[in-house]
Amino acid sequence: MEKDWVKEINKLKKERKAVVLAHYYTLPEVQDIADCLGDSLALAQYAEKTDADMIVFAGVHFMAETAKILNPDKKVLIPDFHSRCSLADTCPAEDFAEFKREHPDHKVISYINCSAAIKVMSDVICTSGNAEKIVGSFGKDEPLIFAPDENLGSYLNRKLGREMLLWNGGCHVHFQLDEEDLMDARKKYPDAVFIAHPECRESLLRHASFIGSTTALIKYVKNSNEKNFIIATEEGILHEMKKEVKDKELFILKKKNLPNYGCAYMKLNNLEKIYACLKDGVNEIVMDKETMDKARKPILKMLSLS
Ligand code: 13P
Ligand code: SF4
């Protein structure tokens, strides 16, 4: 007989003094057992404050790594080491180091979706929830590099009138969506308001009534008087959104003829693997002290500015 994973996980969480953190893109049943469910910013803020002995991070690798950097003396575990992030992977450390060397007078703002090695080379980190504030903390004429998400960087350049140099990385989930997909969706849902995550392309973002992080998108839908929404981000967000707005129609923007649209990396987190982390301490994030110490500075700077 299959175990009652929820019951077992809750029991082990108490025994181990552990917490489970989950991103909105994870499976619904994973979101439901989380002590903290949130966007990248909320999860980093929670990780900074928690007094738990053990953190199981149901997200992707850079998120668990960030939690470890903030908690060097705690056990931080990831349910599946294959939970990478395609966006973080578009920015290899050696290539970025070379890019940085070519622009020695530039400060570096890195989106949290990057490896610890990139964080070490950054002056400050940002998430989609605080990016405008973080960029705004630099003087208008200060030369800046923004990495690794080109779509988010160019959105910030347009919105804030900046000319940051951009690394040309992107997330496969958001990058693939384009105008034609929206036109298609609009034929089906002509009255729906279109909202989007800033990791989407400019050609799509220019049609959006609202652009924001996953938390901001959920809040927007909740507080809006409108009833129907087309949403351009990963489909896992619908679980929490539907809880918040029971009386509204929500449609995730999909690529035509592409049934498996979501972030496969996020979906690798499941209850059985979370249970294994809690029970046997498997998949621990291990990092060297020097990297953690150097990467912590730009993360703490972000948290203090948020
Ligand atoms: P937020 O959690 O900041 O909304 O970003 C979405 C994302 O792609 C996380 O990997
Ligand atoms: Fe990374 Fe994209 Fe998945 Fe977010 S949705 S974790 S940016 S691959």
Kindly report, residue by residue over 236-254, the tens digit of the pLDDT: 999 999 999 999 999 999 9
Ligand nearest to the CA of 149: 2
What single-letter DSSP state applies at residue 35? S
Q: CA nearest 231: which of 265, 202, 200?
A: 200
Q: For ligand 2, is residue 266 a contact (CB within 6 Å)?
A: yes
Q: Whose alpha carbon is nearest atom 1 of ligand 2? A: 85
Confidence of residue 294 (pLDDT cuts 50, 70, 90): very high
Q: For ligand 2, is residue 269 a contact (CB within 6 Å)?
A: no
Q: Determine the average pLDDT of the residues in 269-279.
A: 98
Contact between residue 71 and residue 47 where contact means Cβ atoms under 8 Å apart: yes
The angle that helices 271-280 and 5-16 make with each other, rounded to 10 degrees, is: 30
The pTM assigned to this predicted structure is 0.97
Kindly report, residue by residue over 113-142, the tens digit of the pLDDT: 999 999 999 999 999 999 999 999 999 999
Q: Whose alpha carbon is nearest atom 6 of ligand 2? A: 85
Q: What percent of the chain has pLDDT over 90?
A: 97
Evaluate if residue 210 carries a pLDDT over 90: yes
| pLDDT in the model for residue 3 | 86
Evaluate if residue 261 carries a pLDDT over 80: no
What single-letter DSSP state applies at residue 59? S
* Lowest mean pLDDT across 21-35, 68-82, 164-178, 256-270: 256-270
Q: Determine the average pLDDT of the residues in 65-92.
A: 98
How much is the mean pLDDT over the chain?
Answer: 97
Q: Render the burial of 91-126: b for 16+ CB within 10 Å, e for the rest.
A: beeeebeebbeeeeebebbbbbbbbbbbbbbbbbbb
Q: Determine the average pLDDT of the residues in 173-198.
A: 96
| pLDDT in the model for residue 257 | 75
The angle that helices 61-70 and 40-49 make with each other, rounded to 10 degrees, is: 30
Pocket of ligand 1 (CB under 6 A): 39-40, 85, 113, 127-129, 171, 199, 213-214
Q: CA nearest 6: which of 30, 22, 23, 37?
A: 30
Q: Determine the average pLDDT of the residues in 66-73.
A: 98
Contact between residue 160 and residue 136 where contact means Cβ atoms under 8 Å apart: yes
CA angle 159, 161, 167 (to 5 degrees): 80
Contact between residue 223 and residue 229 where contact means Cβ atoms under 8 Å apart: no
Q: CA nearest 183: which of 170, 194, 174?
A: 194
CB atoms within 10 A of CB 200: 27
Q: Determine the average pLDDT of the residues in 148-163.
A: 98
> What is the distance in A from the centroid of ligand 1 to the CA of 38?
9
| pLDDT in the model for residue 131 | 98
Measuring CA to CA, how many Å separate 191 from each of 90, 136, 220, 221? 37, 35, 17, 14
Q: Determine the average pLDDT of the residues in 8-21.
A: 98
Atom of ligand 1 nearest to the CA of 23: 2
